[in-house]
Amino acid sequence: MRLRSVELEVRDRASAVAFLEDTWGLLDAGTRDGTSYLRGTEDLSYVVSVAQADAPAVGAVTFSGSDTEIASIRSRASAAGVRCGPMRKFDEPGGGRGFLLEGPEGQVFRFVVEKEAAQKLPVERDRPMQVTHVVINTRDRDACTRFAVEVLGFRLSDRTRYMTFLRCDRVHHALAFAQSEVSSLNHIAFEMVDLDAVMRGVGRLKDAGFESVWGPGRHGPGNNVFAYFVAPFGATVEYTSEVQRIDDTYKVGGPDDWKWPPNRVDHWGASTRNDTAMSEAGRNFRFKQIPAA
């Protein structure tokens, strides 16, 4: 199973799409029923969908997998009494069928068996390849982590004082929960081909009038290079590269393994973090409720 896409709703679809394409570097993957689809260069039909709405929201965080993987999540969810939408077909790039499922704090996860594989495009330094992780703010991080492990079948990769990192394939984390007072989207991370591509992205955003709210730097858990920005539609987005690939021999770290020296918030120590901007943006996107069946 892999992280596939994030389904966003925004107040001004046209300007959000313009930013994601012209500045962030995603490619047009078509529009259907008033929803714009955007892709990266990896073999995924799309990685972000953008629909117009009265308020910003996350419609779903979508994972794609095999029939067996999706069926086993559905059966564990039913056994655990988790609220699920019906199995249905999705009319979107890649097609396929699947279902929506509600997390402990109303998070909406979607699991899809894709019908049509997408063609991988040539790598370009100025374009994201794919979405590599999504971080969700949670009020009860332990409960959400148990849910991700026991119901969704994710594996724990690392825990720090404020965050829990989970994986569904070899990428160190596809999903992470951040301790918060609200349940909302913390940020979406887009994988770039290398450090140079991340730095070129920082420059491209600067040219367009956007200063980073954190980074460039290198994280502890996952060891990935990062640079965070608040997009004009209000969500925090991250360029990242070199994210660690791990397997079951990985030693799961705890809070004592991930301590920084005073005044340091990453390996390099060169960046400052705009906590106010990140915390404000982290409240903008709440999860939309699963429609009643």
Interacting residues with Fe ion (CB under 5 A): 189, 238
Cis ω before 216 (30° cut-off from 0): yes
| CB closest to Fe ion, residue no | 189
CA distances from 192 to 57, 197, 251, 257, 277 (A): 25, 6, 26, 27, 23
Q: Which long-range contacts (CB under 8 A, 24 or more apart) does 243-251 make?
A: 243/132, 243/133, 243/171, 243/172, 243/173, 243/191, 244/172, 245/170, 245/171, 245/172, 246/157, 246/167, 246/170, 246/172, 247/170, 248/155, 250/157
Nearest CA among 168, 60, 48 for reference residue 106:
60
Instruction: Give me the least distance between CB of 189 and Fe ion, in Å please.
Output: 4
Instruction: Give me the least distance between CB of 187 and Fe ion, in Å please.
Output: 6
Instruction: Give me the least distance between CB of 68 and Fe ion, in Å please.
Output: 29
Instruction: Give me the least distance between CB of 238 and Fe ion, in Å please.
Output: 5
CA distances from 227 to 198, 230, 269 (A): 7, 11, 13
Instruction: Give me the least distance between CB of 130 and Fe ion, in Å please.
Output: 14
Select 102 or 238, whichever has its Cβ closest to Fe ion.
238
Instruction: Give me the least distance between CB of 40 and Fe ion, in Å please.
Output: 16
Instruction: Give me the least distance between CB of 34 and Fe ion, in Å please.
Output: 30
Select 16 or 134, whichever has its Cβ closest to Fe ion.
134
Select 158 or 238, whichever has its Cβ closest to Fe ion.
238
CA distance 60 to 85: 12
Kindly tell me the sign of the dihedral angle through the C-alpha atoms of 136, 212, 7, 93.
negative
Select 234 or 282, whichever has its Cβ closest to Fe ion.
282
Select 74 or 173, whichever has its Cβ closest to Fe ion.
173
- Contact assessment for residue 158 and residue 252, using Cβ atoms and an 8 Å cutoff: yes
Select 74 or 167, whichever has its Cβ closest to Fe ion.
167
Q: Which helix (H) or strand (E) holds 71?
A: helix 67-79
Select 48 or 189, whichever has its Cβ closest to Fe ion.
189
Looking at the DSSP assignment, which residues form a beta bridge with residue 134? 175, 188
